[in-house]
Homo-oligomer: A and B are copies of this chain.
Amino acid sequence: MDILIINPNTSIDFTNRIDFIAKSYANPGTNVKTLNPQTGPGSIEGMYDAMLSAPGILDIFLRNHSKFDAFVMASYGDHPMISALREITHKPVIGIAEASMQVACQLGYRFSIVTSGARWVPLLEESVVKYGLSDRCSSIRSIHLPVWELESGSQIDVIQEITNVAMLAIKEDKADVICLGSGGMARFHKLIEEKLCVPVVDGVIAGLKMAESIVQMGLSTSKQSLYATPKKRPLQRLPEDYSSPNDNQEPGIAILK
């Protein structure tokens, strides 16, 4: 099985770390590849950045679609490209935020999310509402560091800060499980879990395992309503391929011939 993880920002360091952690947890038969866009922000700090990253993500997806069985969007939060890509493929496209919250729901009553910058708090609140998990989410707390400082700052300091904030979530908000709410926190989960008394869920790994499971189950994205293949319609100054979904029934990207 071949799984493509898309790091939505342009940081190669991020991509390498995500790739390393994903390969460490992949099944023996799973071939993991991690790519990042050539254009866009070095870290996704909000919806504006998400929009700037979109063309580069679409470019990766269109070039690589035929080679992979499933896709993991390594953006913790409801990146609008998750929904957009599901429209143009039968193959599974997994969001890491929803996947990690689902794992957390199997392990405890309530989870808290520890995220990077402060804007992610309201953004993730919106996602939690959308996923229907408000009653299961005890809190979303920020370490008040933008995503890209997770990379550049002292790793020990960053881990300590995540641990401190997670401890508050456990004590004050009654969290039973901690979700690390940023793709940039990948690789820290076990170091943090050692310092806490509760399970710590990494989103990239949760997304990878969900992707593997769904491929093994032989399941694909439903084309019934929200993710139905787009119909033909006029497009201005975009490559012709974008506008020509073919309607063959086989799983495969609809807009490519």
State the A residues within 8 Å of B (CB): 10-11, 25, 27-29, 37-43, 45-52, 54-56, 58, 80-81, 83-85, 87-88, 92, 94-95, 98-99, 102-103, 105-110, 117-119, 121-123, 125-126, 129-136, 146, 148, 170, 174-177, 190, 197-199, 201-202, 205-206, 209-210, 212-214, 216-228, 230-231, 233-238, 242-243
CB atoms of A132 and B122 under 8 A apart: no
Given A92-B106, A109-B225, A214-B106, A45 and B80 touching (CB < 8 A)?
A: no
CB atoms of B235 and A42 under 8 A apart: yes
Q: Which residues of B contact A134 (CB under 8 A)?
A: 132, 135
Pick the contact of A48 from B46, B88, B92, B198 — CB < 8 Å?
B88
Pick the contact of A40 from B37, B92, B236 — CB < 8 Å?
B236
Pick the contact of A213 from B110, B136, B209 — CB < 8 Å?
B209
CB atoms of A129 and B135 under 8 A apart: yes
Pick the contact of A174 from B121, B216, B227, B236 — CB < 8 Å?
B121
CA distance A50 to B110 in the complex (A): 21
- Nearest-Cβ distance from residue A228 to partner chain B, whole angstroms: 6
A87 — nearest CB in chain B belongs to which residue? B48
Nearest 5 pairs of A and B residues by beta carbon: A42-B234, A108-B222, A209-B213, A109-B226, A176-B222
